[in-house]
Structures are given as C-alpha cells and as structure tokens.
Amino acid sequence: MKNIVVGFLTIIIILSIPIQSLANFKDVPSSHSLAIEINNLVDKGIINGYPDNTFRGNELISKKHIAKMLVHALDLPMTNLKNPNYKDVPVTHPYYIEIAAAYTAGIFSDATYFKPDSNISRAFMAKILAKSFSLNSISENGITYVDVAKNSSFHRDIQLVTMNNIAKGFVENGKHVFKPNQLLTRAHFSAFLARALSLKNGKYYPESNQAYYYHNNDTATYGEYIRSWYDEKNVTSKSKEIEAISYYILDEEGNGHYVSIDTYTISQSKWAFQNFYSRQMSLPIILEVPYPFTIGKKVGYRNQRLEILNTDLNVKVAGKTYENVIEIVATTTNFDAQSDGYNQPYTEKIYIAENYGIIGSKNMNGYWSQWLDHIAEK
C-alpha cells in the first residue's frame, strides 16, 4: 500500500472531520464525543430528536423507549406476539406492541410489572444488549472492574459489552469502574446500541497466495501498478501476522523495484496495519484500531484519535463493489524523508474490506488517492 506518504503511509495524529448526517441537532455538534453513534441511529430512523432541533442527550431514557428502539434496530416481528401480561402494560398501552415484541424475542423477562416509564441502569443495559445481540466472549478484551463482583448476576453481561467494544467503564484513582447502577441517558444508550449494531469481527485482511495490484497517484511516475503478495503466519494462538513485500511494476514482465513491507497484525483486541517505506525504513507507519470494529471515536496507536464512521458501507472501486466496508476518517501528518521532518496534516478516508484489508483511500474532495485495482493468482 504505497503512496502512504500522501495516503495512509503516514503517521496518524488526529481525527476531527465534520460528520455528514441527516441529523443536525443544536446540542450535538460534530465535536460531541458520541456524535457519530447518535447521528447513525437518527439516520436509520431508530431514534429522533425534538421539534426545537435538539436531541437532549442528557435526559434519562425510559424502558418503553428502549423497547421501541430495539424493535426497530433488530427488525423484530410485530405480529403473533406473546402477551407478557405485565399489569402496567395492558394491550391498550401506547407501547404495548413494542414491549410485547421485545418480550416475545426473549429480551425482556417475566415479571409482575414492567415499569415502562422507569429508567434503566448501565448494568441492565449490558444484560439487554448481550442478550439482544448474542455477544461472544473475547477474553483478551476483558477488564476487571472493582465495582462489579464476579458473583454479580450482571458480571458476565458487563464483560461481554466491554469485550466487544460496546460499553466500557471509567478509570478513577487508577482503578477501572463500570458504575453499574448509574442510570442511562438518551445519548449513552444510543451510543451503546449503535455500537452493537455496527459490530464487525470478520477477516479484514488480505488472502495469502494472491497477488494484489494497486493504483495510486504516483503510478504515472513509477510504473503501472504496485504489486503485493501476502503470507500469513500465526504469532500466538490468538494473533496472526499477514506480511507482504511490495514492488512498483516497471515493465510488461512484471519486473519492478522494491517499495515497502506491509504487515497486518490481527489479534482479539486490535486490528493493525504497519508499513516500512523503503526510503525511511527506520520509521514504521502504524494504523491501529480497537477490535472488534464498532463505530465511534476511538483511541489508537500512541493516543491517536480515530473516527470510525461506518462498518457496513458498500464501496465501488475499479468496477468492483465491496460490502460491509469499514470507513475511517483520518487526519495524518506526512513524513518528509529528505527534510527529516513533518509536513502539514493531510486528511483522508481509509476503507477496509473483509478478505481484502485496505482497499483504498480518498482525499476529502472525494477522489481516490490509492485503490485496489485487481487480484491475480500469485
């Protein structure tokens, strides 16, 4: 992947790009820590704002509204429902269908009262989302919270939302806390639900024994394509590396000169791309993203800030459409090998596809600066 002096062969230092969305709430600017998740749910029609163009994210969210959001988010059946027989939710209740749909799906349990206007805690949120999305355990991502006892009925669910990068706790006085009894706001439940919906943990790296041919803005100078072929090896039982030595092709026989070494490192807790460019081999370029992928603002390598905008994008490039593509907006600083210094920050969008790895990058004018052209047998 190699015009990363202009593309993703750069050191990522900050991400702060305005978010394009149907939503435009006065109280959710693009700088809002949960703006990506809130806007994502609004764009999907899962939650709305108020007539005065506010979202009111700090207001507590009620169980009846959570039921309605889950029905829309999970596309639950709205017919042939079981009556949960909650004494405070008669069939005439305005949210009866949504509550009954969630009950029929097994999200809500038997009880005498549902308390539709009550609020829920972070612990109960964890139980709802772990059950709704059948979350898997990822031991490498577990965190020990001092305020969640191992014998708590919520312990496993809290660990599951933590392991899957849906909801994490806080660090107070050097210790991890989850605050399980804290009541949820509209903003926080929206964020947790949006992340659960966007969860992706597939094979987001290139196949071995294939030759990957890339175009970029420098090919007119260096040759027709950049060619990379990848070899996969297990580092530990829980992580692997996929490495390629890449060349610019200069003639019809496929001869070219060495460009770089690309390495994908995949573990239970991170997805990373590292590049050693031939003109400054001592400088590794790293893009490191928390894994599994979920949308939102993240902290990457050496506190780099990342914004994952989508995990289910359809992207067409070089005549091929890729599905479930990860879209990351990045502002980077380019390294200038000749001056041994850094130039002005450069902003781009990076696209990562399942079974292909990075398929390209665009500048913020919407033009491809690097892209995967085609694949051939090695």
Calculate ∠ Cα 48-22-55, nearest 5°: 35
What pTM, to 2 d.p., does this model score? 0.88
DSSP H helices in the chain: 35-43, 63-74, 96-104, 122-132, 155-163, 186-198, 219-222
H or E segment and range at residue 236: strand 226-236
Of 159, 184, 155, 212, the C-alpha closest to 69 is 184
Q: How far apart are the first and last CA of the chain?
A: 17
SS3 5: coil
Q: What is the dihedral of CA 204, 208, 211, 212, to 10 degrees?
A: 10
Q: Give the tens place of pLDDT for each residue, 49-83.
A: 999 999 999 999 999 999 999 999 999 999 999 99
User: For every one of its 378 residues, what pLDDT tens digit does the chain have, with 9 covering 90 and above?
Assistant: 444 333 333 333 233 333 345 568 999 999 999 999 999 999 999 999 999 999 999 999 999 999 999 999 999 999 999 999 999 999 999 999 999 999 999 999 999 999 999 999 999 999 999 999 999 999 999 999 999 999 999 999 999 999 999 999 999 999 999 999 999 999 999 999 999 999 999 999 998 888 999 988 766 666 778 889 898 888 887 888 888 888 888 766 667 788 888 899 999 899 999 887 654 444 456 788 999 999 999 987 766 778 999 999 999 999 999 999 999 987 665 545 444 445 556 678 999 999 999 999 988 888 898 899 999 876
Q: Find the helix or strand (DSSP H, E) in which 100 lies.
A: helix 96-104
Give, in order, the Cα–Cα distances in Å from 349 to each of 202, 253, 358: 20, 33, 11
Q: Provide the token pair at 304.
A: 């780099």
Instruction: Please give the pLDDT value at position 329.
Output: 87
CA separation for the pair 356, 121 (Å, rounded):
40
- What phi and psi, each to the nearest 5 degrees, are found at residue 72? -70, -40
pLDDT of residue 254: 67
